[in-house]
Amino acid sequence: MTAFIERRAARSGGIESPRFSRRTLLRSVAGAGAGLTLGLLLPSRGAEAAADAGEGPADARDGEPFAPNAFVRLAPDGTVTVICKHLEMGQGVYTGLCTLVAEELDAAWSQVRPEPAPADAARYNNLFWGPLQGTGGSTSLANAFEQMRRAGAVARAMLVTAAAQEWGVAPAEIETAEGVLRHPASDRSAPYGAMVERAAGLTVPDPDSVALKAPEQFRLIGKGDLRRPDAEARINGTAIFASDIRRPGMLVARVRRPPRFGAVLKTLDEDAAKSVPGVKAVLVLPRGVAVVAEKSWQADQARAALNITWDDSAALTVGTDAIRKQYRELAEQPGTVVRNDGDAAAALSDPEGRTLEATYEVPYLAHAPMEPPSAVAHLTDAGIEVWTGSQVPTMDVLTIAEAARVKPEAVTLHVTLAGGSFGRRANPAGDCVAEAAGIARGLLDRGIVAPVQLAWTREDDIRGGFYRPMALHRVSGALDPNGRPVAWRQRVVCQSVLKDTPFAPILGAPGIDPMAVEGVKDLPYAVPNVHADLHMPETGVPVLWWRSIGHSHTAFAVESFMDEMAHAAHVDPLVLRLDLLRDHPRALGVLMLVAEQAGWHAPMEGGRGRGLAVHESYGSVVATVAEVTVREQTIRVDRMVCAVDCGLPVNPDIIRAQVEGGTVFGLSATLRSRLTLDETGLVRQSNFHDFEVLRQASTPEIAVHIVPSTDPPSGIGEPAVPPVAPAVANAVFAATGRRLRSLPLRVPS
Amino acid sequence: MARLTINGTVQTLDVPPETSLLNALRDELGLTGTKYGCGLSQCGACTVHVNGDAVRACQTYVRDLGDARVTTIEGVSGPVADAVRAAWLEHDVAQCGYCQPGQIMQAIALLTRQPNPDDAAITAAMNGNLCRCGTYGRIRAAIRSAARMLSLATEGAEP
Ligand code: FES
Ligand code: FES
């Protein structure tokens, strides 16, 4: 994970491609049956060192330290299976990974099928994260960009060699396209499937000896018309999510959790629950009580019948109002310094200039993926099998092992499709998977050997904690007598998502969670004096990364305040940004594109307004213009125009979909959602009637424009979210002259 | 014992009468294409057709169904369903896909009743179907496309 952060930090400075291929070895593993499996052997650190020391090819020396890693499988019927190391949760990563392989393989798009990789950190690690398999931080396409292309290129080279041998011609004379090998000189051709057996017997070439295409040779990458290879399953009901897993003899579990965070079980009377027909067991878990039954409705009934009292002595018994008060008090005190350029304090007290100050607040938010957390676990004496949509399988394997009291080697984790996630299924506390594994352990201890499914209800999800943290930003700025911004001071109050997790070691200087200040610490505007500090209060509310993490609130504060500075200076907010971002060509590119596409300077009639925001995250930059109509207390967002620079657009339509979806996700947080606790610590919301998200009726037209680029691809799953809230708030100001500084936006009466 | 007509087949289920249709479909019949999202008629993920009407299976109970014809995403067919599916593929609507069976069942019911809905009718029909991935714009575009396909097909069929 350290590597993950370093890599992200490196990326934010400039674009780079993961370099792994130099010492990568590929070899073919003829699998059972007549298929060709390409195993990509990634040397471990030790092997890299050995290779550096000139000890020869790593696998020739010793196969042990290397786990074979298959990304491509070709069947005699021509099917190309791409084994996808990243979780498909709607972001289109299967399409992306398949595109990269199919591009270099010269496969026909219709013959490509995605398949989820199992949990295996050695073979399926995220190359930005070190030895960790995981999907997050919008890293998937970027880390796999070269890896997947090489996997495809090597497969193609082997098919060419096979055909050359079969036909007795030189490999260089063979052409490939659309899954067909051709020798024009002799007018021979064969589909890939026909060469699979012969290719499987060949020695795998050194991947570095296999040329990758130049961008102008791409036929799939960058083309807008590729349909998701798994689209049909998603519209005919056959796509299988974790909650759809059905195993023979499978039992169903429900868990009653304490209503207050940090509470523990005091007394349990299980008699009524146990008398519900079909109930097999009542199990006490570290956080709650599980009932296990044959049928879901029996489990629901039994859960309701549990007679429980909770011990609240260590529980959080205050509400979000009190936490907000604590935040506001902290905002009066200096925090841990995150950045200090020049002398912001001096510039802010210059009597010649003008200063302004504003406070921005955002609430806790649940992720609320449409599929609530869900897992199936089956523990036997041989080990445990688990099915779940896991964003970080390496972490979940350890969670499962601990909860089921087995060795990590005894865990088999099947990664299923996920019905959305947005960070929820990347929980270091592993709440749902830990519960499922713990229940499986409890069953086995009682002599019940059966798979068990734990499917959370929506109420479990909304009240289950692990929210986007509440945050407060106090920002001060100074303008010199000419109206130029000369100082920017920002105090962030935000709970840490990293603290108390296994990733705590990557916390920066004491008291600095990089994820609380991303977007502030790296404030891109050319302001000579910048000071930023941070408070990370403990609140007792469990928090977690939520689509775009810290950027989800830092951009709201930064981009709103930039708008306030522009208005104070009587400068057009676009013009001020163009000026202060003059050293950031990609930001300028998206700003210019969005301004042109949105018609930034076109006048708007009364009650309507246009707002702008730009933000860089995960190596990509997105600029968004919002157009709103405000009538009395109602904000209607009419149109969102977005421009994105995410490097080489591998799948333009997926990029558009992610920007559309990220914009809708951002609009939910801007206009609707908030998670609050009452003054006794109970979560007030429970389901979509009170934890509101955007619906069809409030969804504006969303236009997405992609900046052409040949830089390596950067993130796309998250970067559209941060600019949404400030763009809308700025538009509300333009429409009404009222500055709204708290999310969700509410126009006071 | 309950008798239900699901996708044209009469099924006998050993479930209590107060069982929701959603649980009966997913847990007894293995028809997992119909999804759970809220259990409170708030999200539309569980939308199926009962006698051709879009209903929320989470709030429909086995005891109330009688002889009604229940159709799920696995069994829905006909020209409207074909047009809707084709339009969904054309616009590559689905992201995670979890809400999509419900969206599609809702859209089929809409276009069956109202082959050429205006924007307000689309909004009214689709507003109960949540999509956290944010595919609303493509859903709207796909419904318009499906309506066009259907009107072309009808015109073509006329003598
Ligand atoms: S599950 Fe039935 S409407 Fe949400
Ligand atoms: S496509 Fe994921 S919830 Fe709609």
Task: Say which CATH number the domain at A310 has.
Answer: 3.30.365.10
**What was the pLDDT predicted at B157?**
59
CB atoms within 10 A of CB A203: 10
Structural tokens at position A633: 């207390």
| Ligand 2 touching residue B98 (CB < 6 A) | yes
Ordered alpha helix ranges (H), A225-283? 231-235, 271-274
| Whether residue A33 sits in one domain with residue A176 | yes
| Domain span at A185 | 19-227
Among chain A residues, CA nearest to B31: A237
**What was the pLDDT predicted at A351?**
87
Q: In what order do the strands lie in the sheet with A529-535?
A: A336-341, A529-535, A485-494, A471-479, A354-362
Q: Hey, are the CB atoms on B136 and A241 less than 8 Å from each other?
A: no
- State yes or no: pLDDT of A28 exceeds 70: no
Structural tokens at position A557: 């504060």
The H-or-E segment that residue A310 falls in is: strand A307-311
Structural tokens at position A656: 């558009």
pLDDT band at A118 (very low <50, low <70, confident <90, very high): confident
Structural tokens at position B90: 């054309």
- State yes or no: pLDDT of A8 exceeds 90: no
Ligand with minimal distance to B128 CA: 1
pLDDT band at A225 (very low <50, low <70, confident <90, very high): confident
Residue A101 and residue A40 in contact, taking contact as beta carbons nearer than 8 Å: no
Among chain B residues, CA nearest to A232: B89
Nearest by CB to residue B136, choosing from A233, A237, A699, is A699
- What is the secondary structure of A393-433 as a DSSP string? HHHHHHHHHHHHTS-GGGEEEEE-B-S--TTTT--TT-HHH
Pairing mode, strands B69-71 and A36-41: unpaired
Q: Hey, are the CB atoms on B88 and A235 less than 8 Å from each other?
A: yes
Q: Which residue has the higher pLDDT, A431 or A12?
A: A431
Among A192, A227, A262, the domain boundary falls at A227
Cα torsion at A631, A636, A639, A644 (round to 10°)?
120
| Whether residue A30 sits in one domain with residue A96 | yes
**Residue A425, C-beta contacts closer than 8 angstroms, at least 6 positions apart:** A87, A89, A369, A373, A388, A389, A390, A391, A418
- State yes or no: pLDDT of A52 exceeds 50: no
| Ligand 1 touching residue B102 (CB < 6 A) | no
Nearest by CB to residue A695, choosing from B45, B89, B127, is B127
Chain A environment of B129 (Cβ under 8 Å): 696
Chain B environment of A252 (Cβ under 8 Å): 27
- State yes or no: pLDDT of A669 exceeds 90: yes
Average pLDDT of the residues of chain A? 89
Residue A745 and residue A634 in contact, taking contact as beta carbons nearer than 8 Å: no
User: Can you tell me the distance from the alpha carbon of A467 to that of A494, in angstroms, rounded to the nearest whole number?
Assistant: 12
| Whether residue A324 sits in one domain with residue A310 | no
Least confident of A214-228, A304-318, B40-54: A214-228
**Phi, psi for A412 (deg, rounded to 5):** -110, 115
Q: Is residue A8 part of a domain?
A: no
* Upper half-sphere CA count for residue B146 (Cβ side, 13 Å): 32
**What was the pLDDT predicted at A70?**
65
**Phi, psi for A44 (deg, rounded to 5):** -75, 175
User: Can you tell me the distance from the alpha carbon of A76 to that of A193, in angstroms, rounded to the nearest whole number?
Assistant: 4
| Whether residue A575 sits in one domain with residue A438 | no
What are the tens digits of pLDDT across the range A632-654? 999 999 999 999 999 999 999 99
Q: Is residue A688 part of a domain?
A: yes
Least confident of A210-224, A538-552, A616-630, B52-66: A210-224
| Whether residue A174 sits in one domain with residue A137 | yes
CB atoms within 10 A of CB A332: 8
The β-bridge partners of A80 are A74, A112
Structural tokens at position A266: 């005091």
Average pLDDT of the segment spanning B4-21: 95
Average pLDDT of the segment spanning B94-106: 98
Q: Which residue has the higher pLDDT, A362 or A198?
A: A362
The β-bridge partners of A336 are A534
**What was the pLDDT predicted at A739?**
98
**Residue A63, C-beta contacts closer than 8 angstroms, at least 6 positions apart:** none
Chain B environment of A278 (Cβ under 8 Å): none
Ordered alpha helix ranges (H), A40-172? 45-52, 58-61, 93-105, 121-124, 140-167
Question: CB contacts < 8 Å between A and B, how many?
Answer: 170
| Ligand 2 touching residue B93 (CB < 6 A) | no
**What was the pLDDT predicted at A224?**
78
- State yes or no: pLDDT of A3 exceeds 50: no
> Which stretches does DSSP call E strand in A63-110?
70-74, 80-84
Q: Is residue A233 part of a domain?
A: no
Q: Is residue A214 part of a domain?
A: yes
Pairing mode, strands A485-494 and B47-50: unpaired
User: Can you tell me the distance from the alpha carbon of A731 to that of A748, in angstroms, rounded to the nearest whole number?
Assistant: 16
Query: What's the gap in Å between A699 CA and the centre of ligand 2?
Result: 14
Among chain B residues, CA nearest to A457: B38
CA distance A114 to chain B (A): 14
- State yes or no: pLDDT of A37 exceeds 70: no
Q: 3-class DSSP state for residue B123?
A: helix
Average pLDDT of the segment spanning A83-106: 93
Average pLDDT of the segment spanning B71-91: 98
| Whether residue A298 sits in one domain with residue A264 | yes
Q: Is A286 exposed, middle or buried (0-12, 13-18, 19+ CB in 10 A)?
A: exposed
CA distance A292 to chain B (A): 15
**What was the pLDDT predicted at B156?**
65
pTM of the model: 0.92
Among A403, A423, A455, the domain boundary falls at A455
Q: Is residue A3 part of a domain?
A: no
The β-bridge partners of A415 are A388
Q: Is residue A159 part of a domain?
A: yes
| Whether residue A624 sits in one domain with residue A527 | yes
Average pLDDT of the segment spanning A683-710: 98
| Whether residue A258 sits in one domain with residue A281 | yes
What are the tens digits of pLDDT across the range A324-367? 999 999 999 999 999 999 999 999 998 888 999 999 999 999 99
Residue with tokens 């940004």: A577
| Ligand 2 touching residue B68 (CB < 6 A) | no
Q: Is residue A237 part of a domain?
A: no
| Whether residue A524 sits in one domain with residue A427 | no
**What was the pLDDT predicted at A300?**
95
Domains of chain B: 2-71 (3.10.20.30), 79-155 (1.10.150.120)
User: Taking a contact as any Cβ pair under 8 Å apart, which residues of chain B between 10 and 39 contact chain A?
Assistant: 15-16, 19-20, 23, 26-27, 30-39
Domain tally for chain A? 3
Cα torsion at A417, A127, A718, A229 (round to 10°)?
-40
Among chain A residues, CA nearest to B100: A235
| Whether residue A346 sits in one domain with residue A399 | no
- The region, left, alpha or beta by phi > 0 then psi within -120 to 50, assigned to residue B7 is left
| Whether residue A289 sits in one domain with residue A214 | no
| Ligand 1 touching residue B38 (CB < 6 A) | yes
User: Can you tell me the distance from the alpha carbon of A320 to that of A332, in angstroms, rounded to the nearest whole number?
Assistant: 19
**Residue B117, C-beta contacts closer than 8 angstroms, at least 6 positions apart:** B110, B111, B125, B143, B147
Chain B environment of A422 (Cβ under 8 Å): 132
Chain B environment of A91 (Cβ under 8 Å): 95
**What was the pLDDT predicted at A344?**
97
| Ligand 2 touching residue B100 (CB < 6 A) | yes
**What was the pLDDT predicted at B47?**
98
Among candidates A301, A63, A245, A38, which has minimal Cα distance to A155? A38
Among A401, A430, A455, the domain boundary falls at A455
- What is the secondary structure of A435-480 as a DSSP string? HHHHHHHHHHHTT----EEEE--HHHHHHS--BBPPEEEEEEEEE-
Which is the closest atom of ligand 2 to the Cα of A420? 2
What are the tens digits of pLDDT across the range A238-290? 999 999 999 999 999 999 999 999 999 999 999 999 999 999 999 999 999 99
Average pLDDT of the segment spanning A400-422: 96
Chain B environment of A699 (Cβ under 8 Å): 134, 136-137
Query: What's the gap in Å between A99 CA and the centre of ligand 1?
Result: 35
Q: Is residue A352 part of a domain?
A: yes
Q: Hey, are the CB atoms on B43 and A91 less than 8 Å from each other?
A: no
Q: In what order do the strands lie in the sheet with A608-617?
A: A608-617, A620-631, A634-645, A701-706
Which of B21, B26, B40 best tests ligand 1's pocket when mutated (most atoms within 8 Å of CB)?
B40
- Return the sign of the alpha-carbon dihedral for residues A430, A431, A432, A438: positive
- State yes or no: pLDDT of A137 exceeds 90: no
* Upper half-sphere CA count for residue A299 (Cβ side, 13 Å): 26
Which of B73, B92, B133, B140 best tests ligand 2's pocket when mutated (most atoms within 8 Å of CB)?
B133
Query: What's the gap in Å between B63 CA and the centre of ligand 1?
Result: 18
- State yes or no: pLDDT of A13 exceeds 60: no
| Ligand 2 touching residue A90 (CB < 6 A) | yes
pLDDT band at B158 (very low <50, low <70, confident <90, very high): low
**What was the pLDDT predicted at A538?**
94
Residue A747 and residue A738 in contact, taking contact as beta carbons nearer than 8 Å: yes
**What was the pLDDT predicted at A22?**
22
Residue A186: C-alpha distances to residues A182, A198, A632 (Å):
9, 20, 77
User: Can you tell me the distance from the alpha carbon of A16 to that of A223, in angstroms, rounded to the nearest whole number?
Assistant: 23
Q: Hey, are the CB atoms on B136 and A696 less than 8 Å from each other?
A: yes
**Residue A33, C-beta contacts closer than 8 angstroms, at least 6 positions apart:** none
**What was the pLDDT predicted at A675?**
98
- The region, left, alpha or beta by phi > 0 then psi within -120 to 50, assigned to residue B32 is alpha
- State yes or no: pLDDT of A729 exceeds 90: yes
- State yes or no: pLDDT of A490 exceeds 70: yes
Q: Is A397 exposed, middle or buried (0-12, 13-18, 19+ CB in 10 A)?
A: buried
Among candidates A110, A83, A113, A96, which has minimal Cα distance to A180? A110
Q: Hey, are the CB atoms on B133 and A239 less than 8 Å from each other?
A: no
Query: What's the gap in Å between B106 CA and the centre of ligand 2?
Result: 14
User: Taking a contact as any Cβ pair under 8 Å apart, which residues of chain B between 104 and 123 contact chain A?
Assistant: 104, 122-123
pLDDT band at A510 (very low <50, low <70, confident <90, very high): confident
What are the tens digits of pLDDT across the range A73-92? 898 899 999 999 899 999 99
Opening angle at CA A150, ends A147 and A154, nearest 5: 145
Query: What's the gap in Å between B72 CA and the centre of ligand 1?
Result: 14
Least confident of A151-155, A504-508, A592-596, A727-731: A504-508
Exposure string of A301-319, with b = 16+ CB inside 10 Å and e = fewer, is bbbebbebebebeebbbbb
| Whether residue A515 sits in one domain with residue A407 | no
Average pLDDT of the segment spanning B49-70: 97
User: Taking a contact as any Cβ pair under 8 Å apart, which residues of chain A between 288 and 347 contact chain B?
Assistant: 295-297
